[in-house]
Amino acid sequence: MSITYRDAGVDIDAGDELVERIKPHAARTLRKEVLGGLGGFGGLCAIPAGYREPVLVSGTDGVGTKLKVAFATGRHDTIGIDLVAMCVNDIAVTGAEPLFFLDYFASGKLDVNVGEQVISGIAEGCRQAGCALIGGETAELPGMYADGEYDLAGFAVGVVERAKILDGTRIRPGDRVIGLASSGLHSNGYSLARKVLAPTPEGLARWADALLQPTRIYVRALKAALKAGEVRGAAHITGGGLVENPPRILADGLVMRLFESRWPVPEIFTAIARAGVEPGELRRTFNVGLGMVIVAPPEDAEKSRLACEAAGEAAFEVGEIARGEGPSRVEFV
């Protein structure tokens, strides 16, 4: 009796079919710098012309337990946008232009239809970010995942002129903070959110739309702000929320003072607070309505804000930089 790889739980034909379905989605994202197409051992991308001292910037991330909501609802078409957003927003805050993206999609048994939905979302995220989906890995790993579940990881590479790297070293007291509105939780804090809002099927049904809102991609807005005036630093508000992310761009002796009345807070955060999560824990776990903060000098702050709005993001002047010492690098007023 002959035993095949399919008998062991791996369907090579399904993988090949998914690759064929992916190709038109990836084609929508291509940049002129991309060399070749999908299917090679490595993705090739040239550095765009015009850089004198190009520096490559890389980032990798996943979607975390937001995937559990996708599994429970059977909705897989936007989770790929989250994957791209978590990676490209991280590299964009260095001032980098995202060039290309690769994904890793693993499941116990490959469902081609689900896989296509996921990767179509990845392609849409790449389109929004202006980067090319040039490759990835689809792994079928029997016994590693529960039926109907999968895992995702993403990898983004961008480029920035060495002299234009944003690292926060130019931030000074008196600088203004521009906040870009989030669409909700983005892709952080889902273990806590699901515990307090969706512990039952009824709770999940009530909050499914809010929980699956895709993460905003701020690449175009930040690029517009950089063209409009001086930007001295930017922080992506991911894990660690508004408490732990802004200090990553602040020098010793500086604090970011945020005025909480200056931006709208999505309903989902209010509901989480009502469920018993204290304000300090809320700010340390979630973005509480701000997916990114940009620091600009006073004379350029309004220009930066308007540029972000023109690029399609809701933007608010939400705070300022001040002198301060002590363990709390972010003050809430």
pLDDT of residue 3: 81
Question: Is residue 71 exposed (0-12), middle (13-18) or buried (19+ Cβ within 10 Å)?
Answer: middle
**Cα 225 to Cα 53, 300, 321, distances in angstroms:** 22, 9, 18
Contact between residue 138 and residue 10 where contact means Cβ atoms under 8 Å apart: no
DSSP-derived secondary structure for 41-53: SS-EEPPPTT-SS
pLDDT of residue 18: 87
Contact between residue 75 and residue 218 where contact means Cβ atoms under 8 Å apart: no
All residue ranges of the chain with pLDDT < 70 are 1
CA distance 182 to 207: 17
- Where are the domains positioned within the chain? 6-164, 176-332
Give the number of other Cβ atoms within 10 Å of residue 33's Cβ. 16
Domain 6-164 in CATH 1.10.1040.20? The answer is no
pLDDT of residue 59: 97
Which residue pairs from 17-26 have beta carbons closer than 8 angstroms and sit at least 24 positions apart in sequence?
Answer: 17/112, 18/110, 18/112, 18/115, 18/116, 18/119, 18/138, 19/138, 21/112, 21/115, 21/116, 21/119, 22/116, 22/119, 25/116, 25/119, 25/120, 25/122, 25/123, 25/133, 26/123, 26/132, 26/133, 26/134
Q: Which two tokens stand for residue 80?
A: 């790929």
Domain 176-332 in CATH 3.90.650.10? The answer is yes
pLDDT of residue 75: 97
Give 59-85 pLDDT, tens digit per residue.
999 999 999 999 999 999 999 999 999
